[in-house]
């Protein structure tokens, strides 16, 4: 009988048991299959399962000595449904690809499997990852385990809901405008957008697309660092990819290195924020003062973020989806059509202006980090909203012009080329999770993870997940 107690263990602890031989990858797959049968019907986090493939992979891995099974040693990992896994249904959340079975995996998946990861499921995502609420016409909505009437955010909503409900120890996500930070915040888990190139992936539609990156999600900072170690490294197929650093991210997270000067901003100067979210994140940021750190209210100048992101995101949609608009328009959701059409209307002058804005914001942010070790802000401007709402239409009396503008607090950091993570930092009065966005200068993931682990220890919210999905009160 599968030991369901393993569901509540940390990923690092389970990997330790794999390496000692206390459990096998097959044992873990049995545990997950049972847990998914018990709880996933309530949240719809992992709509595509591939346990036969996973068990075949696990059996091959188990023929190797334990010391040669990679960093993850046979730990099962779900892959977001935007990313190809060979022989496994990969829909991108779109009716256009509802029967798509790739012949080749993304190099990210190959890297994880080389490092001992066992793929057993695809996690749900909105169509083409567009929008920060996970629903699509192929599989339906993913619900928040803390309150199943609420959104899990997106676009890595399935990954976050799986972690929170105990159907994954670690999960793969991706992030353009907060796509793994938002769901981490809504579901009370941790999600990291790494620096550009930290995690190699197969280029599609352009080799120099830098708004979107792949990244790790987990229930705590140490587990997150472990998965980043298993994901990172250069690859010839991704010309932007970075080499592995001499010190592991897990050891960096465990280093105890403390930041000396912290900046907190309730809004990055660019967006309204719900007062309760503001209060919870401010209180968490100020806890750094207990360690002797200076905590000040400050942020870099990011005033061009909305205009810049709107243009660069639209351009990215145009180069990656224009052919679908021409040939499959009737099968695309309205938000995707809008994004593509916005991109096709762009002039070179608008692109020139947006690229210059991004360069300027990145330079100002780098200067900012000459003074501060970390920048802290809310991850999301609201607590989890009703799942039937397609997006946040207004906040603090401000009505947003489009379905992505409410994400400014995360996409501003995307534009500045910084690594950023969402750390659980407290709960609203109604018991919904709130995430604190923690940002470091480009390529400073080690410093970011160390600071996040230090704050995680102070806040004491590390063991709040996994939970059984909760019906609305």
Q: Which are the catalytic amino acids?
A: 80, 155, 179
Question: Are 124 and 330 in contact, with CB atoms under 8 Å apart?
Answer: no
* Residues whose CB is less than 8 angstroms from the CB of residue 246 and which lie 6 or more positions away in sequence, other chains included: none
Instruction: Identify the burial level of 116 via C-beta atoms within 10 angstroms of its C-beta, where 0-12 means exposed, 13-18 middle and 19 or more buried.
Output: buried
Question: Are 80 and 163 in contact, with CB atoms under 8 Å apart?
Answer: no
d(CA 447, CA 177): 22
Task: Measure the CA angle with vertex 77, ends 73 and 79; round to 5°.
Answer: 140
Question: Are 410 and 313 in contact, with CB atoms under 8 Å apart?
Answer: no
Question: Are 139 and 123 in contact, with CB atoms under 8 Å apart?
Answer: no
Helix, strand and coil percent figures for the chain, each rounded to 5? 40, 15, 40
3-class DSSP assignment, residue 106: coil
* Residues whose CB is less than 8 angstroms from the CB of residue 462 and which lie 6 or more positions away in sequence, other chains included: 219, 220, 424, 456
**Element counts in the chain: helices (H) and strands (E):** 14, 15
Cα distances (angstroms) measured from residue 460 to each of 88, 155, 252, 375, 432: 39, 27, 20, 21, 16
Neighbours of 457 (CB within 10 A): 12
By DSSP bridging, strand 433-439 and strand 420-427 are: antiparallel
* Residues whose CB is less than 8 angstroms from the CB of residue 402 and which lie 6 or more positions away in sequence, other chains included: 310, 338
Within 69-142, residue ranges assigned H as helices are 107-114
Question: Are 313 and 291 in contact, with CB atoms under 8 Å apart?
Answer: no
What would you measure as the largest C-alpha separation in the chain, in angstroms? 64
3-class DSSP assignment, residue 69: coil
Neighbours of 16 (CB within 10 A): 14
What secondary structure does DSSP assign to 304-366, as a single string? Answer: THHHHHHHHHHHHHHHHHHHHHHHHGGGS-HHHHHHHHHHHT--HHHHHHHHHHHHHHHHHHH
């Amino acid at each position: 009988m599968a030991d369901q107690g393993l569901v509540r263990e940390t990923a690092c602890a389970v990997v330790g048991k794999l390496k000692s031989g206390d459990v096998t990858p097959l044992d873990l797959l049995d545990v997950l299959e049972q847990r998914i049968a018990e709880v996933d019907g309530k949240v719809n986090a992992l709509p595509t399962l591939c346990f036969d493939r996973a068990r075949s992979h696990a059996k091959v891995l188990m023929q190797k000595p334990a010391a040669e099974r990679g960093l993850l040693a046979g730990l099962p990992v779900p892959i977001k449904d935007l990313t190809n896994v060979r022989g496994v249904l990969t829909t991108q959340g779109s009716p256009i690809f509802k029967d798509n079975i790739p012949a080749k995996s993304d190099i990210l998946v190959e890297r994880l499997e080389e490092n001992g990861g066992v793929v057993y499921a695809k996690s749900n995502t909105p169509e083409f990852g567009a929008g920060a609420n996970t629903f699509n016409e192929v599989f339906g909505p993913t619900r928040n385990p803390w309150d199943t009437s609420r959104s899990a955010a997106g676009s890595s909503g399935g990954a976050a809901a799986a972690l929170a409900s105990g159907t994954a120890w670690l999960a793969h996500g991706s992030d353009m405008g907060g796509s793994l930070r938002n769901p981490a915040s809504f579901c009370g888990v941790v999600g990291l957008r790494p620096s550009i190139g930290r995690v190699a992936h197969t280029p599609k539609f352009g080799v120099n697309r830098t708004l979107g990156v792949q990244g790790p999600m987990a229930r705590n900072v140490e587990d997150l660092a472990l998965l980043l170690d298993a994901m990172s490294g250069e690859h010839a197929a991704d010309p932007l990819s970075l080499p592995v650093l001499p010190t592991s991210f897990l050891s960096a997270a465990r280093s105890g290195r403390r930041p000396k000067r912290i900046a907190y901003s309730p809004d990055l100067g660019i967006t309204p924020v719900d007062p309760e979210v503001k209060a919870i994140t401010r209180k968490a940021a100020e806890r750094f003062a207990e360690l002797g750190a200076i905590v000040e209210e400050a942020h870099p100048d990011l005033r061009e973020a909305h205009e810049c992101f709107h243009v660069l995101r639209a351009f990215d949609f145009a180069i990656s989806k224009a052919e679908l608009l021409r040939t499959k328009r009737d099968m695309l959701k309205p938000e995707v059509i809008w994004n593509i059409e916005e991109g096709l209307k762009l002039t070179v002058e608008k692109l020139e202006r947006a690229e210059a804005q991004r360069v300027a914001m990145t330079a100002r942010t780098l200067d900012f980090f000459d003074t501060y070790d970390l920048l802290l802000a809310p991850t999301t401007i609201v607590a989890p909203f009703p799942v039937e709402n397609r997006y946040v239409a207004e906040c603090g009396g401000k009505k947003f012009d489009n379905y992505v503008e409410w994400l400014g607090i995360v996409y501003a950091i995307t534009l500045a080329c910084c690594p950023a993570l969402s750390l659980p930092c407290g709960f609203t009065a109604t018991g919904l999770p709130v995430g604190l966005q923690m940002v470091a200068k480009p390529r400073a993931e080690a410093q970011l993870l160390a600071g996040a682990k230090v704050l995680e220890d102070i806040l004491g919210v590390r063991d709040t997940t996994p939970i059984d999905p909760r019906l609305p009160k």
